Amino acid sequence: MSDRFAAQRRALIERIRERGIGELEILRAFDLVPRHEFLPQAVHHRAYEDTPLPIGFGQTASQPSLQALYIQLLKLSPSDKVLEIGTGSGFQTSVLASLVSNVYSVERLRPLSLSARESLDRLRASNVALLVGDGTIGWARYAPYDAILVAAGSPSIPEPLVEQLAVGGRMLIPVGTREGQKLQMIVKTASGYNVRDVKECTFVPLVGRFGWAESTLTER
């Protein structure tokens, strides 16, 4: 990790802590994974700001403190198998890989998936599998999952993702309109699932069969 970002990285960790993230394992993961390695060169100087950053193709790398909140809310265990919907830059993927047994991540945009794979390989993240495809239908081959993180806003809860949760498994997903969503926690039960609102948020659209149609992306 480049020492030139050491001060900025530590400042980011302190901001994450101030926002209520107190689990040492999570803070350590955000300290150890170099965010700039997953971002375009043009925004390297902003890599350790606590803000979303553009990564091309109309997509953004999420705000680090929100990613940390996601992970803390899911109460992950080292033995967990996690599905991530929206690989994006691959930064959150790498953080997850340092905390759990296996990470499976789906990204609909091939260039982003390929770029994330290159970054993950540089950091020798050997417990990550990537798939280019429709994230709203999940990745049934490796189900059931102990946790699912959805990094894009959906008009409703995609049923295939719920089906791929293990009983007792947790999913975090932003649900609402294109302009704003509520982050919801879904917990799978033996007879269905429970839903709890967590906070207001705004994410890029979750595009796919059980999300927003791609044709709506240019409609305003």
Measured CA to CA, the distance from residue 202 to residue 51 in angstroms comes to 12
Q: Which residues contact 142 (CB under 8 A, 6 or more apart)?
A: 81, 83, 102, 104, 129
- CA-to-CA dists, residue 26 to 31, 95, 209, 213, angstroms: 9, 8, 33, 34
Neighbours of 41 (CB within 10 A): 7
Residues in CB range of 51: below 8 A, 6 or more apart: 63
Annotated catalytic residue: which of 62, 65, 94, 105?
Answer: 62
Q: What are the CA-CA distances from residue 8 to residues 13, 26, 36, 92 (Å)?
A: 9, 18, 11, 18
> Nearest 5°: phi and psi at 207?
-100, 135
Under 8 Å between Cβ of 175 and 155:
yes
- Catalytic site residue 191? no
Report whether the peptide linkage leading into residue 160 is cis, meaning its omega lies within 30 degrees of zero: no
Kindly list the catalytic residues.
62
